[in-house]
Structure 1
Amino acid sequence: MRAVTLFTAQFADIPLEILAAKAHEWDFDGLELGGHIDIHKASTDQSYCQEILSLLSKYNLKLFAISAHLVGQAVCDRIDERRHRPILPEHVWGDGESEGVKQRAAQEVIAAAYAAKNLGIKIVNGFTGSSIWHLLYGFPPISPEQINEGYEDFAKRWKPILDEYEKCDVHFALEVHPSEIAFDIVSAERTLNAVNNHPSFGFNFDPSHLGYQGVDYIEFLRRFKSRIFHVHMKDVEFDWNRPCEAGVFGGHTMFGDPRRFFNFRSLGRGKIDFERIIRALNQINYGGPLSVEWEDGDMDREVGAQESLQFVRRLDFKRGDKQFDAAFIKQ
């Protein structure tokens, strides 16, 4: 059975020790730290890393991955003070000059690799940002050269980052997601090609962001089976047969607005077929953690975290090592 962990980003306002105690009480196996770690400090201070590991051990929790989602977003994005300054450390934002922010963000993502190494883990999950997301819809007409330039910009900025990850024996797992350089199967393939299938680059599989787009998330697992470095368990509600007012990308509404085509839901309360996901993960021999990323604006988060854990526990199963009818064959 795979370990079931809790992604802490949605609980970032709760001090780590209090959250660790709760996670232990709820019976999680470990944590994926998002917002509960100083990446810059962890990259250079082994004693700080040991403090984190000792705290988790106190509550019988293991650490499987850390998050660089927010800082990673700034590496390729078109920098906007109102969007990016609130999510970035002050030493990354600096004077706010666009290119400087991107370069400092890249250094912070590299620092995350060294932090992971110091913590004894192999996975950093995160975002990459994208210089071409705003060109998603093609009018006025978008030239192929513009899109090519976006992938070239991604490769230029991320290859040096990934080289540092390789030195640390750590993988960067991009969460395929709208607003990133990869947001579906086709763009994920192009992203891999852009970095020449760099061995340190792969994906944090989150079916919720694929499902509401109409992307075949089971095919995603099969297509990129050797690049599935981490898995988020997150559900989403949508209905292709129900007309809505705000379409697939939300119509500039806030999450929770009933006019939206989709809203995230506590595990088991949406439309993602997790039974098929578990079977596909078994088929591709994924043995890493199943990390609960809980997001449901209509539910208490602590109730949701516990119900999601129990949902995953019930659903996950070990793959058999022989065909069911093999026992019928005489030896």
Structure 2
Amino acid sequence: MKTMKGPAIFLAQFMGDEPPFNSLDAICAYMAGLGYKGVQIPTWESRLIDLQQAAESQTYCDELKGRIAEHGLEITELSTHLQGQLVAVHPVYDKLFDGFAPEAVHNNPKARTEWAVQQLKWSAKASRNLGLDAHVSFSGALLWPFMYPWPQRPAGLVEMGFEELAKRWKPILDAFDEQGVDVCYELHPGEDLHDGDS
């Protein structure tokens, strides 16, 4: 049985160029001073984590956990919200979402998707190396331009969109399964997995 440990905070919205929001140690000291017990790490923020190294090195992960523990904090989850969004981008949004990927894959949706998938797979291994059993992400949105029901969608369009979403996410979910880590999707408008009722 798990018990709530919190409070914890997602660091992405606080990172910036000014102290104490510009480095791992500074932001951890600041958040601990506010009474937080845990931090959710955005994996695209290189000032907080080197995702590839975390996937490939247990030593790196042990040192990262140790640095955070020095501030009285622990990592609650890794986050791939931005990379998860890039797993499934409707072409109408290509230019808008390129900004979330490295410049080397801009204007190349196939390469951008491959980059995002690799990021998620590294996150599965990094989560395991950090001793985490949950991970947070976005699903992406192939169908979002069709949310409004006019003009009427052709029969089968929604089913086709979800089949493609499943095809893209199945290898990623398998990678997380192999590491014993659950993927938890943040659901809200702009994500295909948002159901409208919630």
Listed one character per residue, the Cα deviations across residues 204-230 of structure 1 (whole Å, up to 9, x for unaligned) are xxxxxxxxxxx4x5xxxxxxxxxxxxx
Listed one character per residue, the Cα deviations across residues 69-125 of structure 1 (whole Å, up to 9, x for unaligned) are 0011010112545322221244xx525321221122112111110110111111110
The question of 1:8 aligning with 2:11 is answered yes
Q: Matched residue of 2:166: which SS? A: helix
From 52, 71, 75, the equivalent of 1:63 is: 75
- Under a length normalisation based on structure 2, what TM-score does the superposition of the two structures give? 0.86
Q: Which amino acid aligns with 1:61?
A: L
The question of 1:86 aligning with 2:99 is answered yes
Q: Matched residue of 1:49: which SS? A: helix
CA RMSD of aligned residues (A): 1.7
Q: Matched residue of 1:43: which SS? A: helix
How far the C-alpha of 1:42 sits from its partner, in A, is: 1.3
Aligned partners of 2:95 and 2:107 also within 8 Å: no
Listed one character per residue, the Cα deviations across residues 147-170 of structure 1 (whole Å, up to 9, x for unaligned) are 011100011001111111110000
- Output the CA distance in 2 between the equivalents of 1:25 and 1:141: 53
The question of 1:29 aligning with 2:37 is answered yes
From 133, 141, 151, the equivalent of 1:122 is: 133
Structure 2 partner of 1:311: none
Structure 2 partner of 1:152: 163
Q: Which amino acid aligns with 2:99?
A: P
Q: CA 1:146/1:81 → structure 2, altered by over 3 Å: closer, same or farther?
A: closer
- Output the CA distance in 1 between the equivalents of 2:106 and 2:75: 34
Structure 2 partner of 1:18: 26
- Output the CA distance in 1 between the equivalents of 2:163 and 2:75: 34
- Output the CA distance in 1 between the equivalents of 2:102 and 2:57: 18
Q: Which amino acid aligns with 1:84?
A: F
Listed one character per residue, the Cα deviations across residues 285-323 of structure 1 (whole Å, up to 9, x for unaligned) are xxxxxxxxxxxxxxxxxxxxxxxxxxxxxxxxxxxxxxx
Instruction: Give unpaired runs (5+ residues) of structure 2.
Output: none
How far the C-alpha of 1:183 sits from its partner, in A, is: 1.1
Listed one character per residue, the Cα deviations across residues 204-260 of structure 1 (whole Å, up to 9, x for unaligned) are xxxxxxxxxxx4x5xxxxxxxxxxxxxxxxxxxxxxxxxxxxxxxxxxxxxxxxxxx
Structure 2 partner of 1:278: none
- Under a length normalisation based on structure 1, what TM-score does the superposition of the two structures give? 0.53
* Mapping 1:64-213, distance limit 5 Å: 64-79=76-91, 80-90=93-103, 94=105, 96-184=107-195
Larger radius of gyration: 1
Instruction: Give unpaired runs (5+ residues) of structure 1.
Output: 186-214, 218-331
* Mapping 1:313-328, distance limit 5 Å: none
Aligned partners of 2:98 and 2:106 also within 8 Å: no
* Mapping 1:236-275, distance limit 5 Å: none
Determine what percentage of the aligned residue pairs are the same residue. 28
Q: Which amino acid aligns with 1:29?
A: K
Listed one character per residue, the Cα deviations across residues 14-46 of structure 1 (whole Å, up to 9, x for unaligned) are 211111001111111111112332322211122
Aligned residues: 185
Q: Which amino acid aligns with 1:86?
A: G
- Output the CA distance in 1 between the equivalents of 2:115 and 2:101: 10
Tell me which of the two structures has the higher relative contact order, counting C-alpha pairs closer than 8 angstroms and 6 or more residues apart. 2
Q: Which amino acid aligns with 2:4?
A: R
- Output the CA distance in 2 between the equivalents of 1:111 and 1:18: 26
Instruction: Tell me which stretches of 4 or more aligned residues in structure 1 moved more than 6 Å.
Output: none
Structure 1 partner of 2:60: 48
